[in-house]
A and B are shown apart, each in its own frame.
Chain A
Amino acid sequence: MKQEDRLKIQAWLDGELAPQESARIADLIDNDLEAKELADDLCAMQKTLEVGEKLAFLEDSREFYWSQVERQIEAEEPITENAQPELMSGRLGNAIRWLVPVGSLAAISALMLNFDSINTTPDWHETGGSEIKNPQTNPINSPSGLAEGAGTVMEEESPATPEVGVFSFEGTQNGGNFASPEDPNTLPESIENPER
């Protein structure tokens, strides 16, 4: 008997087999001795486990147990309750959300304009405008003055690209579930919250 059929016999007993397969497996159990023995064996185990499990009990007193839970709750609450409102609440929060990127962009633009005037104007006067070189070939003439640094950063970051691919592949293997097994906060909500 194929292992696949063994697993289907088990699924049939667990009520997990699709209706179209159920008839075939029922027929297999009726006509194949090995299949019948396996079904009987699995049934016996199911019945055995129906008695339930031995329950473990806590030895700590109610007060002691609760005091430990309460202490952990209190220890974690300032992080979740106090941090968020300060950053996100009210009109100020909304204004900051818009002002930070717009302000940053304005500051960068102003800096770039300043660098242009600082770097190009003296050269123009000193050389008479005839010896201005392509700024890309001379990092000093880069508008931001960071051309060399930026290149270095790009080289350092480039090996990270394949890691993204690997991550995506693993995620696909897990049925598209990208949740990190280490972080309970990222576990599927339907499991954490069985109502969903």
Chain B
Amino acid sequence: MAKLDIPNAADDELVRSAQNGNMAPYEELVHRHRDKIYARAFSMLRNEEEALDVSQQAWVKGWQRLKQFQHNSSFTTWMTRICINLCLDFLRKRQRQQTDSLDQMNEETGGVERRMEVEDYNPTEEIERSELREEIDAAMEKLSYEHRTVLVLHEFERMEYKEIAKSMQCSIGTVMSRLFYARRKLAKILISLKKERQS
């Protein structure tokens, strides 16, 4: 059997070799995708050290479960799901140490929405895409972890309501409600950031 040309091999080839217990191909996979996994962890946790730890844990878990990977999705999708699950576990533990957030109370009563006006917002007209990404990032940081997570999973990971509900261990109705409030709050924060920038 020909020796694997690790730096030039496709992900799939590296994964198959790593599934046989070879660590060098796995190291290459870590190198190729570590930024993506770290970025997902950071977008959910909003803390560099925690994101670093969780991203490394994800790679450890990925290695331990590599034989379960059946090549039906891309390796990065599979790794990202592992990372998301670890982030959710981490966030749940952190949340359990805090009292219930105001956001959750509002979701249950629905009180905020009835007072919230529909904003007319078109952010793409003035700022460049990279600047807009910066602003979205700043706005996401101001959201509660439940709202940020549901937005990340739906808007950036393209997960369906059902899948998000399973990941977040809540009902589909809760996902819909969280997503709704998350979008409204994000819009509100973006408007205020726009006003700050203009003044």
Contacts and interface: CB of A to CB of B under 8 A. Distances in A.
A and B are interacting partners: yes
Interface of A: 3, 6-7, 10-11, 14, 16, 34, 37-38, 41-42, 44-49, 51-58, 60, 62, 65-66, 68-70, 72-73, 76, 80, 174-175, 177, 179, 181-184, 187-195
What is the size category of the interface that chain B forms with chain A? Answer: 35 or more
A187 B129 CA distance: 37
Query: Which of B68, B118, B160 counts the most A-chain CB atoms under 10 A from its CB?
Result: B118
Contacts of A14: 154, 161, 179
A41 B188 CA distance: 11
Interface in B52-69: 52, 55-57, 59-61, 63-65, 68-69
B113 A6 contact: yes
Given A10-B179, A193-B78, A195-B70, A51 B122 contact: no
Contacts of A179: 169
B113 A3 contact: yes
B56 A54 contact: no
Contacts of B27: 66, 70
B192 to A, nearest CB: 15
A192 B82 contact: yes
Interface of B: 23, 27, 30-31, 34-36, 38-39, 42-43, 48, 51-52, 55-57, 59-61, 63-65, 68-73, 77-78, 81-82, 84-86, 88-89, 92-93, 110, 113, 118-124, 129, 132-134, 136-137, 140, 151-152, 154-156, 160-161, 163, 166-167, 169, 171, 173, 176-177, 179-180, 183-184, 186-187, 190
Contacts of A44: 121-123, 187
Contacts of A184: 61, 85-86, 89
Nearest to A77: B64
Contacts of A70: 23, 27
Contacts of B134: 54
B34 A192 contact: no
B81 to A, nearest CB: 5
